[in-house]
Amino acid sequence: MNINIIQINNKNKYYINKSNEPFVIVGEIIPTFIDGKWNYKEMLYDISTQKHYLNEEINAEEYINNINKVIFFACIDNKCIGQIVLRKNWNNYCFIEDISLAKNYRRKGIGKILIDKAQKWADYFGLAGLMLETQNNNILTCRFYLKQGFEIGSVDKLLYSGLGNDEYAIFFYRKTRKSTRTITVEDYNPKWADDFNRIKSYLMQYLKKDIICIEHVGSTSVKGLAAKSIIDIDIIIKREKLIQVKSLLEGAGYFYKGDLGIADRYNFKQYTEITNGFHVHNLFVCPEDSRVPISHLKFKDYLKANSKKRDAYSRIKKESASLFSHDYQGYNKHKEPFILECYREIFQNDIDLAYRCNGKIDVTEIDELRKKVGWNEMGNYYRNGLQNSYFYLCCFIDNMLVGFVDVISNGNSDAYIQDLIVDPEYQNKGIGTMLMNITIDKLKLDEIYIISVLFNEKLNSFFEKFGFSILNAGQLETKRT
């Protein structure tokens, strides 16, 4: 059989639910929770029965060209014989909303093909794994999931109780396996410059006058430097153009992936179906006043002007790849001392500012910062509260916390800036302005457009420059008992 897996589009959307056919109930699994782990035993019925779910009402338009949800069909000779419906879940898992196969095509490996496709989709978006829900009396399906490497994560005995039956829900999970990709560092390839120029020419068709420049950065941009064969590209823009550039890049076939923990560096990736034959590349959008593009370009120029440092970096990169061939964290950690040494030389006369998003931080550092500005300590709140923040940003100088902002949001429409703190010794150096710019940009990119903050009237002019209006507001303080 020649199985084709195709993604939903306007031409094939009528395939939805074509493969939904009856299935056999022959028994149930009985889960037990022992010593912190789910186990189970099987109970087979004396008489088997058939079951058939009604077709789910699926709005096809929601799944077409949507980076948050998708449907894949399994087809043979233009006949749909299976489908899998996926969406990104709030817990960073790919939730399998539905998987079905026409009865004549079961037990032929097609279900595994669909699960593998779901895993590739989840991997592409950096999700933690796959999850789904089925009923305990659907024993054949439970066996299939267990065979595919899923494990029982939880059991809900009440989910179906309102329907008048005694079946209950079992939630299965399969965590993404550790990457087996080999880290390969190769000698400089002159073709990388040509590959960058091809991508740049393509991007310019969409971005035109809405950007300042497109720069080839990273190791592939330095002639003679060994590198992983992945091209890094910075699109440098005026900060107020960020939302417009995001929209233009989406039109060019890219989707927004967030800042990946590096503040003011916004990552975009191409859709799987739209590669244009381009070399593998990382695309970053950076405001011109950000530290990120300045650091990238200065590091590039430093290595170009210093052949000894360039060659030393080549040796370290190859050594890192040899020692940590499947461990990206170890690979990067091994290079870090050399890179930091270079940056100390590059920025020896400048304040070495570093902005980080949601990184590790000791709550006592936040309390020390609060004391410096005359605020009360809130270590107990931050110890638990940061876990529930929408995000938080830190500014460091030589690993010392000098700026902090904490943001709370419903993740949909509104956000509240909980705290904005800058060490008095480093105020009036643009740190508070940069923290606010990054915060507002991140919220806008997440399509959150109502941002609130409480502040002393002495700071009216500071917040007004970002567009905040002065409104009447109410605040009730209660004491914990």
CATH number where 367 lies: 3.40.630.30
Give the N- to C-terminal CA distance of the chain in Å, as an integer.
Answer: 69
| Domain region containing 360 | 353-464
Q: Model-level pTM?
A: 0.65
Nearest 5 degrees, angle CA 389-CA 133-CA 76? 115
The answer to whether residue 477 sits within a structural domain is: no
Q: Let me know how long the chain is.
A: 481
The answer to whether residue 183 sits within a structural domain is: no
Instruction: For residues 293 and 405, state if they share a domain.
Output: no
The answer to whether residue 91 sits within a structural domain is: yes
Q: What is the pLDDT of residues 289-331, one digit of tens each?
A: 888 998 999 999 999 999 999 999 999 999 999 999 888 888 9
Q: How confident is the model at residue 52 (pLDDT cuts 50, 70, 90)?
A: confident
How many distinct structural domains can be found in the chain?
Answer: 3
Q: Calculate the alpha carbon distances from 146 to 16, 29, 230 in Å.
A: 26, 12, 37
Residue 352 has pLDDT above 80, yes or no: no
User: 51 Cβ partners below 8 Å, 6+ apart?
Assistant: 22, 23, 24, 25, 138
Can you tell me the distance from the alpha carbon of 442 to that of 389, in angstroms, rounded to the nearest whole number?
Answer: 14
Q: Are 15 and 72 in contact (CB under 8 A)?
A: no
Coil, strand or helix: which one is 444?
helix
- Give me the pLDDT at residue 180, please: 61
Instruction: For residues 88 and 16, state if they share a domain.
Output: yes
- Give me the pLDDT at residue 31, please: 94
Residue 446 has pLDDT above 70, yes or no: yes
- Top mean pLDDT of 169-173, 239-243, 384-388 is at 169-173
Instruction: For residues 167 and 220, state if they share a domain.
Output: no
Instruction: For residues 42 and 135, state if they share a domain.
Output: yes
Beta strand 23-34 with 37-51 is antiparallel
> What is the average pLDDT value for the chain, to the nearest integer?
89
Q: Are 278 and 202 in contact (CB under 8 A)?
A: yes
In percent, how much of the chain has pLDDT > 70?
95
Q: What is the pLDDT of residues 162-211, one digit of tens each?
A: 888 889 999 999 998 765 678 999 999 999 999 999 999 999 999 988 89
Instruction: For residues 325 and 370, state if they share a domain.
Output: no
The answer to whether residue 117 sits within a structural domain is: yes
Can you tell me the distance from the alpha carbon of 449 to that of 468, in angstroms, rounded to the nearest whole number?
Answer: 12
- Give me the pLDDT at residue 27, please: 94
The answer to whether residue 387 sits within a structural domain is: yes
In percent, how much of the chain has pLDDT > 90?
61
Name residue 28's beta-bridge partners: 43
Q: Are 436 and 446 in contact (CB under 8 A)?
A: no
